[in-house]
Amino acid sequence: MQFSPSNGDFTFVSSTDAEELSGTIEAPDIKLSMGSEHPRDAYATTFLRQRGYGWLLEVEEEDTEDNKPLLEELDIDLKDIYYKIRCVLMPMPSLGFNRQVVRDNPDFWGPLAVVLLFSMISIYGQFKVVSWIITIWIFGSLTIFLLARVLGGEVSYGQVLGVIGYSLLPLIVIAPLLLIIGSFDIVSTLIKLFGVFWAAYSAASLLVGDEFKTKKPLLIYPIFLLYIYFLSLYTGV
């Protein structure tokens, strides 16, 4: 027996029909407001913005594109530095290296590392020699630069600074040999001359171009003297 009230709010069913009924009751999504949804924060925000201090509430978003590696931020290319080192240590054109990259694409960190390494092996208990070698590198390169410009060379100070710094590598290579055979004066002198000629040739072949023509000795000679002075700082002569 089924009875349906007139208002349509309820429906009564018999017990036999109730067994086949099933369903769920979903609770409505009710948010209770306790009257404390940061009213003070909203008032403070409005107060600051009305008086022109809204910039205090601005949050600067971090730009992920600016988070570059440290080497990239400092403009340090290790592969480029390694290639330039090989160009200086093997200056013969027959080896196939593009040696002009040392001059045409100068950098600062590679030559600085070479100069500091040469300074470290030249200390001999005198730490002040480090600053002295760096000073000679900077002002010696400036002298070569000014002389090259006077002779008509188209080089920049950064190029000269890089070439002179990188070309200290031959002197670093012969340093262990001088420690081993330092007691043999003749052999030691020959190795020193070889190192100086090696360094001077490596630097001069990059800095002394065809534009100097007959004036090449005027620039090669001071370069040679500069590396003799560097070697004297190492050997203490």
pLDDT tens digits along 186-237:
888 899 999 999 999 989 888 887 776 677 888 889 999 999 998 888 766 5
pLDDT attached to residue 25: 55
Question: Hey, how many other C-beta atoms are within 10 angstroms of the C-beta on 87?
Answer: 21
Number of domains in the chain: 1
- Kindly report, residue by residue over 102-142, the tens digit of the pLDDT: 888 888 888 988 988 888 887 665 666 778 888 899 999 99
- Kindly report, residue by residue over 26-52, the tens digit of the pLDDT: 555 544 444 444 555 666 677 667 666
Kindly state whether residue 65 falls inside one of the protein's structural domains.
no
- Of all residues in the chain, the percent with pLDDT exceeding 90 is 16
Query: Which 3-state string (H, E, C) describes the chain?
Result: CCECCCCCCCCECCHHHHCCCCCCCCCCCCCCCCCCCCHHHHHHHHHHHHCCCHHHHCCCCCCHHHCCCHHHHCCCCHHHHHHHHHHHHCCCHHHCCCCHHHHHCCCCHHHHHHHHHHHHHCCCCCCHHHHHHHHHHHHHHHHHHHHHHHCCCCCCHHHHHHHHHHCCHHHHHHHHHHHHCCCCHHHHHHHHHHHHHHHHHHHHHHHCCHHHHHHHHHHHHHHHHHHHHHHHHHHCC
Instruction: For residue 200, give the nearest of 162, 159, 236, 228 by alpha carbon.
Output: 228
Distances, alpha carbon 198 to alpha carbons 160, 163, 179, 193, in Å: 17, 13, 19, 8
d(CA 99, CA 166): 12
- Kindly report, residue by residue over 140-191, the tens digit of the pLDDT: 999 999 998 888 778 889 999 999 999 999 998 988 888 888 677 888 889 9
Q: Which residues pair with 12 in a beta bridge?
A: 3
Could you tell me the two tokens for 216? 């090449």
* Domain region containing 186: 70-235
Kindly state whether residue 4 falls inside one of the protein's structural domains.
no
Kindly state whether residue 37 falls inside one of the protein's structural domains.
no
Residue 130 near residue 75, CB atoms below 8 Å: no
Kindly state whether residue 38 falls inside one of the protein's structural domains.
no
In this structure, what is the dihedral angle of CA atoms 201, 206, 210, 213, given to the nearest 10 degrees?
-40
Q: What's the distance, CA 232 to chain centroid?
A: 32
- Kindly report, residue by residue over 54-113, the tens digit of the pLDDT: 655 666 555 545 566 766 777 788 888 888 888 888 888 777 788 888 888 888 888 988
